[in-house]
Structures are given as C-alpha cells and as structure tokens.
Structure 1
Amino acid sequence: MNSELQVIKPEPIKVGAKEVTLFQDGTDVKSTIKTLEAGNFVVIEGFYSDGLLLLKELKNHLRKKLPNTSFKEQREYRSVYRTLSNLILIEVVAHNLTVKKAPSIGWLEKLYTETSDFYLSFPQIQGLNSSWQWHKKGISIPVLRNKMHPYYGTYFPTRFDHLILFDNWLKRYNGSKKTAIDVGIGSGVLSFLMIKHGFQKVFGTDANPNAIIGLSDFMGETKLSRKIELDFGHLFGVWEKQTELIVFNPPWFPESHAPDSNDEAIYYNDTLFPDFFSEAKKRLLPDGKLVIIFSNLAQISKATKAHPIEKELAEGGRFQLEICYTKTVKAASEKTKRDQNWRSSEEVELWVLTH
C-alpha cells in the first residue's frame, strides 16, 4: 500500500476579518440571508443549534423564491442551496468547534493533524459529524460477526440484500479459495465475507484513497491485514496475476442520468464496464469465476434502458453467463421522504460469469 496517500477531506476555508458577519439566536435572519446571497461568509456564534436554525430559514427562503416542482427546478434549487449554505461557517479551535453545545467530532483531530485552528462550512461539519457517529458506534452487517467502522468519505452499505445474496453464493462456492480480487473494496465488506468463507488471500483495490487509508487503519496488525492486501488504483491497480475469483460491486447508475447528485451512490461512466471486462479477462484463471453485484435500479427508475452486464454478454465475446441470482429488495423505510414507489419492483442481482 502507498504510505504517502493523502486523505480526501473538506479543505479549511480562509476567512478575512472584514468579510465576516456573525450569526446567533436573535440576529436578523433576512439580512443574514442577504449577506449570503451577496456571496459573503456568515460565521455561527453562540450555539450549534443556531446553525441549524439558519439552514432551516435558508431553505424556507429559497422555497418561496424558487419554483421547486420539476426535476430541473429541483436541481436548480439544490444548487443554489448548496452554494449559499456552504458560506455558513463554524470556527474550529484546538480541533474543537467553538460554538456551545456542539458535537464532539473526532475527525477534526484525526484528519487535520497539520492545523488545529480553521474554519469549515456548516454542511461540511454536519457531514463530518454524521460520519464520525457511524465510525465511532459502528454498523452491524447481518452477514458479518463484527461491526464495521467506516472511515470518513468511504462508501459503506446501508442496505444489505446484495450482501445476503453474495454470502449465500459463497456458502455454495466449491472452487479453489487460494486468491481473490475485490475491485473497488470500499469499506471492505465483500473482502471480509470472502475471508469468512475461507479464502486465503484477497487483493483489494480502490481509486478512493480514504478507502485504502481507512481499511489499513481498521485492520492494523491483525490477522486480517495479512489476508487482505490493499492497493490504491483504478480497477485492478497493480494486481496482474490470474486469480480464481474476481468480485465487483460497481456503481448502479450511469453518470449522465444521475437521478440526484446528492445521492450517496456514485455513478459509472461509459468506459468503466468495457475497461473492467477487458482487464478481468486477463486476470481470471481458465476455470475462475467473475462475480458482479448489480441491481435493476437504473432500469426501473427510468434512468436508462441499458444494462452493462447484459450488453457485455451480448456483444463482448469475453464471458458467458453461468447463472444470475436475484433478490427482491425490502420496502423503503416509511421514514424516507423520497418518492420510491418503484422500490416494490427493485431487485439486486448477482451475476456469475466464466470464460
């Protein structure tokens, strides 16, 4: 693993004394919002909750000002809100927020070792805070014995149907378990599952440095660190040797049809799948298996009609289908605010391909 990797994190914001307006409970909200619309910084003083109040008032203001019905209008609304909300700042001193009744966020010390005093935007602080809560408390994954503690800026699953599908497949897998490659290892769940089911060595890659840094940190000097080897790189990174099993859980939405840029999902571009299949063919042993975890999400939400795995099987000439397992996804939580009627027909897919 490259020891010189730089973690991706929110950049500290440089603030000049003259361009700052202070906001706390009792400050005039309308004039504060005008300050934001003029492109000037507003620093939250007093209580953490004052920042939450200002964000709420900003949303109300923009809803009255901007139409917010069509997809295009919603995108415009989100864009304006993002720009203005990121002008609302909180000061960090000695790796702690200066406002009262603020959450304690361990990332402020862990990620910003080079400086202890700086400013970040309120939305960035909210993101760091929620990430720290996940990291500290951990998340229970039904198919793993131990909790996961996801690192800042690293994808981790919040739904588990596709993991149950993969776990069930691994239970039935009777091929060699000498090595496997996990392309886009993320928070490491698929690799941990392969180790759980007896694989001796898993090579994991990711183009996100936070995933590699976070997993190295999580595994430390444990047995896992000897069984899972990491590389920062695109697709297969430095791994050239052929292997018995290649596992890939790619993004499920095409980039040009992103339904909502605020969604946690990352979107695939036109070259991801052709490049992946071309490289996978070189690295799969003659009797090896290529397992891709996917979903019909893009099709049923009308983002695209194309299915990249079906396209490869029809046109690629590199692989043949051994089997495809599907699993109906559990209904969306009643708490969700999004319109997800199509979720009733959502299925996760596990494709097993061979040479």
Structure 2
Amino acid sequence: MSTIHWVEAQPRSARWHSESGLPLPRRVVVADDLMPAAVAHRLACEGTALLWRGDFHNARQLLRAMDRRVGRSTPEAPECPAEAFHAHRRYRAHRARVLGKLLVLLEADHTLALRRAPDVRRACDEAYGPPSGEPVAVALTELLGVIGAREWREKGVAVPALGARIHPHYGVFAPTRSEYVDLVARAPLPGGGTVRTAFDLGTGTGVLAAVLARRGVGQVVATDVGARARECARANVRRLGLAGTVRVTGPGLYPDGRAGLVVCNPPWLPVRPASDLDLGVYDAGGAMLQGFLSGLAERLEPGGEGWLVLSDLAERLGLRDRGAVPAAIAAAGLRVADRLDTRPRHSRVRDTGDPLHAARSAEVTSLWRLTPA
C-alpha cells in the first residue's frame, strides 16, 4: 500500500488513501494554526502536502483561504463549448490537486484526533469500510465529502415521483435532479400498462427501480457495476418495502433473461472519469450507452420497450455529434417509437457565473422509447 512519511519529533508514516485518485504526496510537512494561507497555498502548488495538527475549524478556514487563492474560474474561457468544457475540467483538476494537499490523519479506529473535530468514525466506516487497524492519511477535502455524504445518507433526498426519500451512499450518484425521474414516472408503460418484468440498468441508488415497482411492474431486476451502488440500492429498496419486487444484482450490465421493459439512464458525458467517484457523470467513449443499445433487441420480450433516459448536454458541449445517438439506435436495429422531453430545474441552470452556463441553460433531458426495428 502507498505510504506517506513525515517528521514530527521523530520519523512517522501512515497509509495514504484517496478515493478521487489524488497522487501519493512525496513530501509532507506538519502544519498547524500558525500556518499562513499564502504559505500553505505556495507549498501546495509546489507539491508539498501539509499534515494538519491544529484546530479542525481552523483547518477548514485555511482550506477556504487556499481556495480563494486558486481562483473560481478559468481566465479568458474559450468560446468553443468543447474547449470551454475541457478548460474548466483542467481547472477543477488543478484546484483538486492544490486543495488536496491539506491532509488530516485518521487514527486506527477512524478517530480524527484534532481539537474541536467532529466524530467522523461512522461516516468513515460507511465510506471506507471497517477500520484497517492502522492510521490513514486523507485529504481534508475528501473527509469533508465523506462527512457530507453521511448527512445526505441520514436525511435522504425527497423524490416527489415516489412520495418518499431516497438515501444515497458515499460515492453513489444522488437523484437530486428530479426531471429524469419524473420522465420515468409518467411515460406510458408498454403492453397496455402491464409489465411483468423490467430491468433497470445502472440503478445507482435504486430510484428508477423503485419508481417502476411503485407503478405496478411485477418484478424489477436492477443492475450496477459498483458494489457501493448495489449496497445502496438494496438499502433503499428495503426501506421502501419493495424488497419482494426489486432484486439488485451485478456487476454485469444486463441480467439473465428477457424483460418487457428495459430502462437505462447512463452517464451523460462520454468522457473518461478521473476516478470511480465520477462514474455517475462520465462514461468513457459512451461505453455504457453502446452496451445498452447493442444488447437491447435480444433482451426484450415481444412487444417490449427500452427506455433510454439521456441529457443532450454532451451535444451542446460539442462532446458528441448531434446525430450520434439516433445513428447508434438505428445501428443497433432499433427504432424510436416516441420521445418525451423535459427541461432541467437544477440550480446550475440559473448560475450565470458557471463557465458552462450557456449549455446547461439550454439542456434537454429525453426519454427515448425504443423498440426493435
């Protein structure tokens, strides 16, 4: 395992862990409440990691001060949407690397031994699994994400289409954008409204599988490549009292057998993810989309449909040709029986300071009803 080393009265070491794929720090110095933000930012930009030994709340203030020095947007953003996207992504990666140099040490039982530090043991157990029995160094930015994920998991996300809350786990894409859920909730079911079996491919939190079950589908088989997502979906299904209707499996995209309805809401941007935490948004080369389309015809029962739920943000950003999805549908031996569209309602639509605002404000999310040609 990767290990960081530093000197604190004597040479010390700890295991390095990064869910977001931050590189192993090669040089680590101890920092505390006396560390000026300008010095911290300079050291971080030079590649030196700062192991925090001061007050927890002061560490958060230092992180905010470093963030202000990194900046909030790319200067002179290019006019080409694709170039603007890649420039913004490079900026975000740079920001993550710099801010990720402020580290904290989790003790062998996931305790954070800093002044005024919260009890993070349960949050870390849920994100990382049981303690390894040795100290672990993580970026403070990551730990704050772990703490935030615990709070989201506890309170859940209200899903109007379900009349209930979905509780996302760490690293699982949360259904905070309800428009795609609403599309699945209102699209007419095939077979005159009677569906014995449905597949939900890439289920994530299990929200679409739950919507289908609530709509009267006899049996829903939900798949996901990620172990965290499968655990999350099973927990939500149990919480909603749908364990007898929804079965969660994986890691394959398609389960065995055929279905009267196959639903897939793949990641919307065909770009390589930086880490597994990005899998809910980025799908390198559109691999999941292609896998869904190429396997659909042979997995549908007679009279069945495939529902592709997809945003056109990739097209508006110039990351995918406007005709690529219809062409892929036709190449898979499918036809479009109908298409339902909706506009996003999330906060970024109104954020004019977002470098990608023009594309986000015009975005359309569609449910493509597909049948064999």
TM-score (norm 2): 0.79
The residue type paired with residue 75 of structure 2 is: N
1:77 to partner: Cα distance: 3.9
Partner of 1:310: 326
Q: 1:290 aligns with which of 302, 306, 312?
A: 306
Distance in 1 separating the partners of 2:221 and 2:89: 39
**CA separation of 1:199/1:90 partners in 2, compared to 1, >3 Å: closer, same or farther?**
same
Distance in 1 separating the partners of 2:229 and 2:34: 43
Partner of 1:39: 47
Matches within 5 A, 1:33-72: 33-63=41-71, 68-70=75-77, 71=84
Is 2:285 aligned against 1:277?
A: no
Q: Deviations along 1:236-288, whole A, 9 cap, x unmatched?
A: 1xx22111110011122222799xx9896223425433332221111101211
For residue 352 of structure 1, give the secondary structure of its aligned residue in structure 2. Answer: strand
Distance in 2 separating the partners of 1:76 and 1:349: 29
Partner of 1:164: 182
1:207 to partner: Cα distance: 1.0
Unaligned 5+ residue runs, structure 2? 12-26, 78-83
**Higher alpha-carbon deviation: 87-96 or 194-203:** 87-96
Is 2:105 aligned against 1:91?
A: yes
1:301 to partner: Cα distance: 3.1
Partner of 2:247: 229
The residue type paired with residue 305 of structure 1 is: D
**CA separation of 1:46/1:271 partners in 2, compared to 1, >3 Å: closer, same or farther?**
closer
Decide whether the 8 Å contact of 1:170 with 1:197 is kept in 2: no
Is 2:371 aligned against 1:354?
A: yes
Distance in 1 separating the partners of 2:53 and 2:188: 53
1:289 to partner: Cα distance: 0.9
Decide whether the 8 Å contact of 1:242 with 1:285 is kept in 2: yes
Distance in 1 separating the partners of 2:218 and 2:282: 30
Distance in 1 separating the partners of 2:141 and 2:41: 16
Partner of 1:204: 222
Decide whether the 8 Å contact of 1:253 with 1:266 is kept in 2: yes
Q: 2:338 aligns with which of 323, 327, 342?
A: 323
**CA separation of 1:84/1:124 partners in 2, compared to 1, >3 Å: closer, same or farther?**
same
Is 2:93 aligned against 1:79?
A: yes
1:350 to partner: Cα distance: 1.0
Decide whether the 8 Å contact of 2:177 with 2:346 is kept in 1: no
Unaligned 5+ residue runs, structure 1? 1-10
For residue 98 of structure 2, give the secondary structure of its aligned residue in structure 1. Answer: helix
Distance in 2 separating the partners of 1:325 and 1:113: 44
Partner of 1:5: none
Decide whether the 8 Å contact of 2:203 with 2:233 is kept in 1: no
**Total equivalences in the alignment:** 339
**CA separation of 1:330/1:217 partners in 2, compared to 1, >3 Å: closer, same or farther?**
closer
Partner of 2:168: 150
Distance in 2 separating the partners of 1:74 and 1:348: 22
Q: 1:300 aligns with which of 292, 313, 316?
A: 316
**CA separation of 1:216/1:165 partners in 2, compared to 1, >3 Å: closer, same or farther?**
closer
For residue 125 of structure 1, give the secondary structure of its aligned residue in structure 2. Answer: helix
1:196 to partner: Cα distance: 0.3
**CA separation of 1:219/1:345 partners in 2, compared to 1, >3 Å: closer, same or farther?**
closer
Decide whether the 8 Å contact of 2:125 with 2:131 is kept in 1: no
Q: 2:155 aligns with which of 119, 132, 137?
A: 137
Decide whether the 8 Å contact of 1:12 with 1:119 is kept in 2: no
**Higher alpha-carbon deviation: 179-188 or 207-216:** 207-216
Distance in 1 separating the partners of 2:177 and 2:197: 27
The residue type paired with residue 366 of structure 2 is: E
1:179 to partner: Cα distance: 0.8
**CA separation of 1:60/1:194 partners in 2, compared to 1, >3 Å: closer, same or farther?**
closer
**CA separation of 1:233/1:305 partners in 2, compared to 1, >3 Å: closer, same or farther?**
same
Partner of 2:31: 23
Q: Deviations along 1:40-84, whole A, 9 cap, x unmatched?
A: 3312222223222332333344459x9733446655443333223
Is 2:348 aligned against 1:341?
A: no
The residue type paired with residue 23 of structure 1 is: A
The residue type paired with residue 109 of structure 1 is: D
